[in-house]
Chains A and B, each alone.
Chain A
Amino acid sequence: MKKASVIMIIGPLFLLGLFSFPLWNIVLGAPQYPEPLGMNIHIDGIRDMNEFDLQNIDGLNHYIGMRKLPKPEEMWEFSTFPLVIGGMITLGILIGLLGFFGKVSYKWFIGWFIIMSILGVLGMYDFNAWMVDYGTNLDPNAIMKLMNPDGTPMSYKPPLFGHAKMLNFDVTSLPSIGAWMMFVGMMLTVIAFFIGWKNGKSTRVKETTKFATS
């Protein structure tokens, strides 16, 4: 149980990576952008991949009537997410410590993982909803109003995951270092749970054996 608890303490610490590394990265490449434009999505705001990228993405987007990329203060998510992540890290470490001193069982470990997963899915859902809004809710006076072959207005929603071709741009959207660190950290808590579970089983077996022989 001590080993499992140590891993349980280490796991949530990986989430600290989200405070310095981007969660997600969206890259826009085109023939006239041999050095692609890109945005890094951090839990507290959207930043340039290279200097002036956001300004240049906004500059291009104005032709098709997309709104400017939000500043941190323009979306509640960018102030809430750091609090949620910070809270979950604290909670995870606390559970690990309590486990270490035998105050809670390994089942709390998977509990933390499940809550974190639900929050993660909710976060993704929210992120996707924002992208849908950002890519479809266009200025009616846009300079270029483009239609799909079926006559519906073209949407410019970037893919949540993977690659899409949007006009002359190749858009690639992938998790970045922060997300990968979060993934590793969360997997560690699952490992902590399994180690705790296995140890628990063998301890129980040992205790039963002891009981039988006495």
Chain B
Amino acid sequence: MRKYSFYVLMLLGFSALLSSCGNQGNKSASNGALSSSAAEKAYIAPGEHDEYYAFMSGGYSGNITVYGLPSGRMFKEIPVFSQFPTSGYGYSEETKPMLNTSFGFVPWDDAHHPDISQTNGELDGRWIFINGNNTPRIARVSLSTFETEEIIELPNSAGNHSSSFITENTEYVVAGTRFSVPVPQRDMPINEYKGNFKGALSFISVDPEHGHLDLKFQVIMPGFNYDLAHPGRGKSHGWFFFTTYNTEEANTLMEVNSSQNDKDFIAAINWKKIEEYVNNGGGTKMPAEYAHNVYDEHTHTGTSTMNKEVLTVDPTKVPGAIFFLPTPKSPHGCDVDPTGQYIIGNGKLSADLTVHSFDNMIAAIEGKKFDGDAYGIPILKFEDVLAGVVKSGGLGPLHTEFDDKGNAYTTFFISSEVVKWKLGSWEVLDRQPTYYSVGHLMIPGGNSAKPFGKYVVAMNKITKDRYLPTGPEMEHSAQIYDISGDKMELIYDFPTHGEPHYAAGCPADLLKPNSKKIYRLSENKHPYAVLNPSEAKVVREGNEVHIYMSTIRSHFTPDNIEGVKVGDKVYFHITNHEQDFDVPHGFSMIGQNTSELLVMPGQTKTSLWEPKKVGVWPFYCTDFCSALHQEMQGYVRVSPANSNVPLTYTLGE
């Protein structure tokens, strides 16, 4: 017995030695930027999958990038508003209509705020929506194909910034104008802005089955700048909240002239009431011109339709539907907590956050306690709607997201930090620096009734010395913090593509099982598809030559084509016959004035080539598809415009 206790003592002593060593180790590690445990938290072993998807807007790239959290690895760039030579989006004949607008073909936009579709206030992972800021548009992207399926242009709007936010059952995707403009557009002096310019807030209905978009109505608001927005949820479902600035209605030197009022407004809009008004025949139809572009997954083709009319609503005609909540200092982000009770105005020129209470707002409306009106819209008293003020100690609050434990996280652009605070008590719990000048932040499910409070991603505007220098222009930086504990812990730092203005995240399991691997060739309804290689052909129609071509590892059918003439318009309609996951074939033609195509299994895409020179010109597959990829090529013989070379097409002869 004595012997055993001796051993036990010895073991205890040894383990004490071990643990003290360990403590020292931890201490020294925490002196560095990251402790070793932080690195482990962001580490996803080779072949393992991330826990969350993050969809980041590309800002001026016009696209969405898809990342994994917590690894920060980028998986894909989804082309939305910008031409994308990698896949041929916006270059192929099928996708050119997607970028059509009332201004003609617009090959680019400034993509800002992605939002994932919801059912009962929770993410359902069917679609992601995003706004084009510059030429006002809203896009819907499928989360099974990760392709842009629909883009609708918004008339009467300019600087489509308080967009694209969805209601809790994806009834509407809502888009507000940042710049007020003459509605309808007309030739008038700029300095007659005040009282004449208007701000249109668009409510775009979403078909519950197919997701198809329809601009149901526009509320024509006073000429303020409608900066950001969020839907009510839970008890406040049916309302929508927009921050405004430039309630001064200035039209020049805005940075000074639109920062004069001590308080601007959050506009609270009871969209259910307006919907009812509209459904009962309310509103005025106004001539307009806006494109509606729909991509069909089975024809693999987009079509563009020009709409000619929009239903507008004068806010004074629907009493009790719209109110202004005074909010200090040109608020930027307008965020609603998961319960729908608190509406947070992030006053970007102040140190504090203003939190309004939905219950207080309803009580004030019911008590008719108004403090005048603006263009007939009642203004509520600041003190009546205020729930609390977060004395943050930071500078320049921009955006707030929420976790599932009653905490809020706000970015401070000027003081470069994320501040964690408690809903209800308004006390600051923690603050962590960002690198540098953080704009938006994202918690997966943050804009829903059910956030997943494990990570927060801070998206910064300034990178400077964070990575190896790459000349004056650099990608932006992002930081990931673990927020599962009491204190936020920086676990990773990675560059992002374009300028992410916001992101939307969701658990990986919500999307993984639905992600398509191939398109079924048997479901291909493209009018120029070749469903069997024996149907491959070349057809001349005047000076148009249509090449119905199929591809499979590792050849084009046909691969020798003669009888094409200088001045022809040659359309290569290429169908990829693979039905195997991740086996695209590419196509490119020498001297072609467009991008390559990347054709997914089962898909058909069309590339236009207008040969200018006589000769024999090669084309080839641009995707290293197989061991015989280098052999995957063909020739087109181009003869003079007046030649009589017969049209022939062959393979293996």
Contact = CB atoms under 8 A, between A and B. Distances in A.
Contacts of B581: 35
Interface string A125-151: 000000000000000000110000000
B553 A59 contact: yes
A55 interface: yes
Given A52-B579, A52-B580, A59 B552 contact: yes
Contact of A56 (B580, B627, B628): B580
A161 interface: no
Interface residues of B, number: 9
B628 A59 contact: no
A101 interface: no
Interface residues of A, number: 9
Contacts of B552: 59
Interface of B: 518, 552-553, 578-581, 627-628
A183 interface: no
A144 B579 CA distance: 23
B568 to A, nearest CB: 33
A63 interface: yes
Nearest to B552: A59
Contacts of B580: 52, 55-56, 59
Interface in A41-63: 51-52, 55-56, 59, 63
A143 B580 CA distance: 20
Contact of B579 (A35, A56, A63): A56
A63 B578 contact: no
Interface string A11-24: 00000000000000
A59 B627 contact: no
A35 B518 CA distance: 14
B628 A143 contact: yes
Contacts of A55: 579-580
Q: Closest 9 A-B residue pairs measured CB to CB?
A: A52-B579, A56-B580, A55-B579, A59-B553, A143-B628, A52-B580, A59-B552, A63-B627, A56-B579
A52 B628 CA distance: 21
Q: Which of A55, A56, A59, A144 has the most CB of B within 10 A?
A: A59
Contacts of A35: 581
A56 B582 CA distance: 12
17 contacts: A35-B581, A51-B579, A52-B518, A52-B579, A52-B580, A55-B579, A55-B580, A56-B579, A56-B580, A59-B552, A59-B553, A59-B578, A59-B580, A63-B627, A63-B628, A143-B628, A144-B627
Contacts of B518: 52
A55 B580 CA distance: 9
Nearest to B602: A52
A52 B518 CA distance: 10
Nearest to A143: B628
